[in-house]
Structure 1
Amino acid sequence: MPDIATSNRQNLDEHDPRVLLLVEIVKKVVTNLIGKRTDLAEKIKRQQDNLLARQNDNAKKQFTKEVESEVENFPGLNESQKSTLTTIVANKIKGDVVPKSDYIVFISHSREDKIITDFIYHILKHKGAKDSEFFYTSRDDNVDQYENPESLAVQIKQNILKDNVLLLYLTSNAYKASEFCMFEGGAGWATRSVGEYIVLSLTYPEMPKFITNGKLEFCFEKNKDIPLDRSTYLFVLKMLNKIIRHLNAGRHANAENEISEFAESTIPSDLELSKQKQLVTDFMDNDIKEYWDFYITKKLQPYMDKRHKLEYDRNNDK
């Protein structure tokens, strides 16, 4: 029989038996698809409602935990009073108010020192952290949004004032010479309690006094070197796990998969290592060693040369 296909439907003979048969076939298919689409839409809506309910519930539970942690720092309260205060505050959010569930880490640093912050950023990305969980202006995988200095200032202000941001400072003389860096440091000092940020520095004299917190503080440089020795490794391990726990709080609130922490390690004493003919590095996490070597050790010499040349020039200018 001749082909019934045409360039437009007006030329079809609607009474052609083949067209009538095709209409009957397609009508059943379309009716079936519409029914399936309606069922699927209802199923998706139920899933979304259940997910939102879990997210709200988890966010409120996480908020309660944070309130409980903050109340622990109140002097003069006994355990019963602390429990009562936590309950009162937590009950205030049982209505339609949903606590913030966006938890990020804000890495405040000078681009001159990016070999260290690159290590932190990329090892956390390797563990499963997402781009959206960072405010890190020196990352090479996404820099377009930071090209406008005025836009950057606004983003810094917006991000640093969020309730669920963990601030990490890497300070140096280059940091203290940067207007943006000192703005970040001052904003963090003004809006956070001493336990809500991490302070890293190259040396202690390069750490701005107003952001020292006496808690998570560490200096990396030792005799113009940044070695991954016992003390550095143990601090890095503690710091990375603190960041992971912070990000996991947001993931728990959003009913998302959490990031696994780095395994805590016990490194034998130098005497025991000598007896066993082992090295400190034998007891370190392999990923941390690999990323440290790639981002810091292999780039250390030119970084140090430039860093100390700038320091020499600054001293001569004075």
Structure 2
Amino acid sequence: MINLGDSTKSEDATSAMNPTAAGLSMTLGVLSNIIALFILSKAYARLRRRSKATFLLFASSLVATDFAGHIIPGALVLHLYSNGVSQERKDSDACCLLLGGSMVFFGLCPLFLGCAMAAERCLGVTRPLLHARLVSTTRTKMAVVTIWLVALVVALLPISNLGEYTYQYPGTWCFIRVLRSSKATDVVFVLLFSVLGLTSLAMSLVCNTISGITIVWRRSVVLHPLTIFGLMSVRHSYSSSVPEQDPYRFLMVMGVRLASYNQILDPWVYILLRRAVLRKIYRLTTGRTHIRGSTFRRWEISSFQNSEKNTVKRI
């Protein structure tokens, strides 16, 4: 009699060892982010001195980060596939360190940037005058650089012996060691990664709830399973035997796949599915020049303009 559970695991293992999915994900993500960067560059050149420029800077930084997040880890994963899939790889070679650091860096950056965007919009809605006084292009650039530096410092912590990167099942990607009798430093590292990510998600939810905008929250939840699966796996490693670790290996594979889908969805949620872009596509495909504003109302990138109008009305 065939064991259906073993059959399912075998199919999942075969899928995990297939480079086609990784190549398609990388290609689709790169194309989506290139289109989004082109649209953002044109919008930023036109709105450089307006209040929308701050949001465009954050959005451009997010898309550029996601673009690099497809190119660098994707190239390393395809390199591992080209060398042959092996579940007995060494845990501390240069390729694994670079790939693991990339996974942490490009995992945290989108969450931090999404949180910063939510905070900027919330400030524009609730305190428009304070927003106008505090938020500037220069400070926005400094905030983006600070976010990148913080994520980089976290990704480089294994260099100072806080945590360790190791090959994950099925030997085609690297991440923080969460199975195989993790040490205390590994637990601290995965807790730090998860707490930073979940805190950013929580702050985004609070800011978007206050400002009444939920777009950022929709895209942020995609990476949520990776942080949860990591915590579940490292907890399981202290209480279970090795044969029972297979389900957690598959959870980690699922989590990293969802994380890659997150970087594909970013440009679509933020840029390519905006009503202004859809309006232009509608005009190009139908040939109509006059469109009812109630049907295709322009989605304003920054909330400052609307909030400023509301403040004037109150006065």
Q: Normalising by the residue count of structure 1, what TM-score does the alignment of the two structures yield?
A: 0.26
Query: Which structure dedicates a bigger proportion of its chain to strand?
Result: 1
The higher-RCO structure (CA 8 Å, 6+ apart) is: 2
Query: Which structure dedicates a bigger proportion of its chain to helix?
Result: 2
